[in-house]
């Protein structure tokens, strides 16, 4: 590591949190969010859903077991920066192929350690997620504030198209053919599909409906991804053309996009859900699963309500018939999943693939595949 360079985190409301720079030198600007998981730092940073964001890890010791190819959720780092309390660069763990800070540096991720992340998180929790920057101490407050102001707000930002592949990517399999609109799919998702024998094709998110149908999918998959679902109008349009034509499932951003495509609204959560401990109740079985979460927006429930009271699988109308509430978040009672029986579609807001986080919901992939048959 280079000699300690003092730095700070500056938020758009002027709050400042001091620390020591590490990782890739230079300034990072983005939406500052926090993740409460205690493991899975490399998975988080390589999750395309974090594009445009700076992740604050609430767990203070980050980097304990180094980095490895196995932990990559995509081909590269997507978060712009990471904010930590006590970062580590060791690679002693048997599974480690390198040190965390070296890896951040090599992957262009700006990082800062020694920050009172708890104070920062409490601030975001109270005031909401906001834009901010990781800056060297040499950068003046005014200069930093200018950088932060120059960054577009997350609401209204389309990051999904930026993380989508330019060309289709194919994975062989003997089972149903799953065609995904790749708005930033995590490799754990493709992995779960492939493990179940699916043949998987990832298409650029700009693909039109016909291009999807030309692939003759048994199941259309709407991937996770970054940014505001309302800003991805093109994909929503494609989905509305496809919905009902083939069975369709969505995860996270995919869930939001499908909901928008059938006439449901999305809204920005005050500080999002990011972590590995959120309880989600499956209203069909009554089972509570501890889930991996990473989203800043959510879908409204019946009558446009942001919170759903009661644990009933309530039904309400969409453009393609009834929606049936299938999952609910027990922390803030937001919509976590629904079925569109008339359209042969189901979606969840959380991450059943885990990677990182609990695997309680992985069985949902079996339900997804059932839809295809």
List contacts with other proteins (CB under 8 A). 17-19, 34, 36-40, 43, 58-61, 64-65, 68, 70-71, 85-86, 88, 90, 92-95, 114-119, 121-122, 125, 275-279, 281, 286-288, 290, 330-331, 354-359
Nearer to other proteins, 70 or 149 (CB): 70
Q: Measure Cα distances from 278 to 224, 275, 283, 358 in Å.
A: 18, 7, 16, 10
Closest approach, Cβ 121 to other proteins, in A, equals: 4
Say if residues 110 and 136 touch (Cβ distance below 8 Å): no
Closest approach, Cβ 144 to other proteins, in A, equals: 17
Closest approach, Cβ 283 to other proteins, in A, equals: 12
Closest approach, Cβ 10 to other proteins, in A, equals: 14
Closest approach, Cβ 82 to other proteins, in A, equals: 15
Residue 78 appears among annotated catalytic residues: no
Nearer to other proteins, 48 or 356 (CB): 356
H or E stretch covering 100: helix 100-106
Nearer to other proteins, 18 or 370 (CB): 18
- In sequence order, which ranges of 141-271 are alpha helices (DSSP H)? 141-150, 160-163, 187-195, 209-214, 233-242, 253-261
Say if residues 124 and 56 touch (Cβ distance below 8 Å): yes
Among the listed residues 329, 346, 328, 326, the one whose alpha carbon sits nearest the alpha carbon of residue 274: 329
Residue 123 appears among annotated catalytic residues: no
Closest approach, Cβ 38 to other proteins, in A, equals: 5
Nearer to other proteins, 70 or 214 (CB): 70
Q: Measure Cα distances from 107 to 3, 67, 77, 301 in Å.
A: 20, 12, 6, 40
Say if residues 36 and 119 touch (Cβ distance below 8 Å): no
Say if residues 253 and 226 touch (Cβ distance below 8 Å): yes
d(CA 275, CA 293): 5
Nearer to other proteins, 64 or 107 (CB): 64
d(CA 46, CA 43): 5
Q: Which residue in the list 22, 198, 252, 259 is annotated as catalytic?
A: 252
SS3 for 254? helix
Backbone φ and ψ for 115, nearest 5 degrees, come out as -85, 140
Numbers of helices and strands, H then E, in the chain: 10, 20
Closest approach, Cβ 217 to other proteins, in A, equals: 30
H or E stretch covering 266: strand 266-282
Residue 252 appears among annotated catalytic residues: yes
d(CA 53, CA 96): 26
Q: Which residue in the list 73, 151, 336, 353 is annotated as catalytic?
A: 353
Taking the CB of residue 304, how many other CB atoms lie within 10 A of it? Answer: 10
Active site residues: 252, 351, 353
């Amino acid at each position: 590591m280079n000699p300690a360079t003092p730095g700070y985190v500056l938020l758009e409301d002027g709050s400042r949190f001091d620390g020591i720079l590490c990782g890739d030198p230079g300034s990072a600007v983005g939406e500052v969010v926090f993740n409460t998981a205690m493991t899975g730092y490399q998975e988080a940073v390589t999750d395309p859903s974090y594009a445009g964001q700076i992740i604050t890890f609430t767990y203070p010791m980050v980097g304990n077991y180094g980095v490895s190819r196995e932990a990559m959720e995509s081909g590269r780092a997507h978060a712009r920066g990471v904010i930590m309390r006590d970062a580590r660069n060791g690679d002693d763990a048997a599974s480690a192929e390198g040190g965390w800070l070296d890896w951040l540096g090599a992957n262009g991720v700006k990082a800062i350690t020694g920050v009172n992340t708890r104070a920062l998180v409490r601030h975001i929790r109270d005031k909401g997620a906001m834009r901010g920057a990781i800056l060297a101490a040499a950068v003046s407050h005014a200069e930093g504030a200018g950088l932060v102001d120059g960054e577009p707000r997350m609401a209204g930002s389309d990051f999904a198209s930026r993380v989508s592949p330019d060309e289709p990517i194919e994975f062989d399999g003997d089972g149903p053919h799953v065609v995904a609109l790749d708005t930033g799919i995590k490799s754990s998702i493709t992995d779960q599909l492939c493990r179940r024998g699916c043949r998987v094709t990832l298409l650029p998110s700009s693909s039109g409906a016909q291009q999807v149908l030309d692939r003759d999918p048994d199941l259309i998959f709407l991937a996770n991804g970054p940014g505001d679902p309302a800003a991805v109008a093109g994909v929503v349009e494609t989905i509305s053309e496809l919905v009902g034509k083939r069975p369709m499932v969505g995860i996270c951003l995919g869930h939001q996009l499908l909901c928008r495509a059938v006439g449901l609204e999305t809204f920005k959560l005050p500080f999002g859900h990011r972590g590995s401990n959120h309880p989600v109740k499956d209203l069909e079985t009554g089972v509570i699963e501890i889930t991996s979460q990473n989203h800043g927006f959510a879908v409204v429930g019946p009558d446009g309500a942001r919170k759903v009271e009661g644990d009933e699988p309530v039904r309400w109308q969409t453009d393609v018939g009834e929606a049936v509430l299938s999952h609910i978040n027990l922390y803030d009672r937001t919509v976590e999943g629904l079925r569109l029986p008339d359209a042969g579609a189901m979606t969840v807001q959380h991450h059943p693939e885990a990677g990182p986080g609990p695997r309680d919901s992985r069985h949902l992939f079996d339900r997804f595949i059932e839809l295809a048959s």
